[in-house]
Amino acid sequence: MSKIQMKTPLVEMDGDEMTRIIWKQVKDILILPYVDLKTEYYDLGLKNREATKDQITIDSAEATKKYGVAVKCATITPNAARMPEYNLTQMWKSPNGTIRAALDGTVFRAPILVKGVTPFIPTWTKPITIARHAYGDVYKNTEMVVEGGSKAELVVTKPDGTKETSLIHEFKGDGIIQGLHNLDSSISSFARACFNFGLDTKQDVWFSTKDTISKKYDHRFKDIFAEIYENEYKEKFEAAGITYFYTLIDDAVARVIRSNGGYIWACKNYDGDVMSDMVATAYGSLAMMTSVLVSPDGVYEYEAAHGTVQRHYYKYLKGEETSTNSVATLFAWTGALRKRGELDELPELMSFADKLEKAIIQTIENGTMTGDLYLISTLENKKKVNTTEFLEAVGETLKTLL
């Protein structure tokens, strides 16, 4: 069988720990035998980020803008414990944060539903897609530790040189402050990305913030969404039979739990981070979630929503058997290959991505799964396999579909 040909390279961003091990196996076992894979490779592993002073992350984001489609492995965001572990000269920023800031996009995360894994919320019969704004707020903050007796003010120097000052707090004792920002342009593209995704997938769009408390900051998000909806999307939504619905974040949380799913929940950056982990876990596993960053100018970055699975990696290093779920990493690859196929008009590549996804689901529904799913699957004849065995089993299923 001849291999499927590609035209434009994918931007490939390698990562860290267990997901880096999985990354190579996914390619070796499930992609390279079938696809004449063209990628431009960027090693975002922490070792190389240190060696390049994080330039590699910036380069990979620029390459993504150039080629339009990237696939990213999970990466370590360094904390204090990583400094001695990797001999770091700096606590490098989160690569995801850097890439998201460069692409200014919205991250869409949807659960991958399989038979045998029932959501913890029994009414959730349809997927809930989280649309996470990927720019600003606490991810681009400025923080200070403040000594008692200090006065903290917010100062803005305007284009004409005049200053607007607002008191934050007069500190009697020691404390902390934080400065956040966002941009009308970024919030507008977030709104359009959500409304477009709603129209594409024929799902209602919900949006929630805390505008009753944050009367200027969060309120701005609410107003921009409302204005763009009224002016650009209302008629299209009505024609498609879908709705846009705004509510407070706490009310949204309560409604989501009581819902049946089947809508897009647009969340500010931090809310989206937290809520996507909650939603993914409630649907079964963090590893059963797709995640794609869509930029306003049509650039796509596919990734897994979970981290580098450090605990499993340390077992792997000790030579112990691991049973790490590779589904989210696999779906990052299938999403990227399908999008590349769509943009380059390569139906064979798109169909390969569809079949690989089908093979993954079928393998799990036929009872072969990793430990995380084995614990929660209600299938009777289920079998727990290790990291590599799972990929090999998917490979066997894939052969029957090709």
**Contact flag: residue 273 with Mg ion (CB under 5 A):** yes
Residue that the structure tokens 């090693």 belong to: 43
For residue 116, the partner it binds in ligand NAP, Mg ion, none, with Cβ less than 5 to 8 A by kind, is none
Task: Compute the least distance from the CB of residue 158 to ligand NAP, in Å.
Answer: 38
Residue 325 touches which of ligand NAP, Mg ion, none (CB < 5 to 8 A by kind)?
Answer: ligand NAP
Would you say how long the chain is, in residues? 402
273 interface partner picked from Mg ion, ligand NAP, none, CB below 5 to 8 A per type = Mg ion
CA–CA dist 17, 337 (Å, integer) = 24
Binding span for Mg ion by CB under 5 A among 2-10, 75-83, 265-273, 337-345: 265-273
Segments of 180-305 assigned E as strands: 204-209, 244-248, 263-267, 289-294, 300-304
287 binds, among Mg ion, ligand NAP, none (CB under 5 to 8 A by kind): ligand NAP
SS3 211: coil
Residue 329 CB, shortest distance to ligand NAP, in Å, is: 7
Q: How far is the CB of 294 from ligand NAP (least distance, A)?
A: 16
Rounded to a whole number of angstroms, the minimum distance from the CB of residue 284 to ligand NAP is 11
Rounded CA separation 197/108 (Å): 9
CB-nearer residue toward ligand NAP: 26 or 346: 26
Query: Contact letters (x/-) for ligand NAP, 71-90, by CB under 6 A?
Result: ---xxxx-------------
Adjacent-strand bridge partners of 41: 12
CA distance 394 to 33: 13
Distance of CA 353 to the CA centre of its chain: 19
User: 306 vs 339, which CB is nearer to Mg ion?
Assistant: 306
Helices 55-67 and 95-103, packing angle to 10 deg: 40
Q: Would you state the structure tokens that stand for residue 400, as one six-digit string?
A: 């029957």
How many of the chain's residues bind ligand NAP (CB under 6 A)? Answer: 17
In the complex, the smallest distance separating the C-beta of residue 150 from ligand NAP, rounded to whole angstroms, is 32
Which residues, numbered 355-374, are part of the site for ligand NAP (CB under 6 A)?
Answer: 372
Q: Which of 309, 332, 336, 398 binds ligand NAP (CB under 6 A)?
A: 309
The CA R_g of the chain, rounded to the nearest whole Å, is 22
**123, 83 Cβ separation under 8 angstroms:** no
| Residue nearer to Mg ion on the CB measure, 77 or 150 | 77
Q: Which two tokens stand for residue 308?
A: 């580098």
- 93, two tokens: 């920023």
What residues line the site for ligand NAP (CB under 6 A)?
74-77, 96, 286-287, 303, 306-311, 324-325, 372
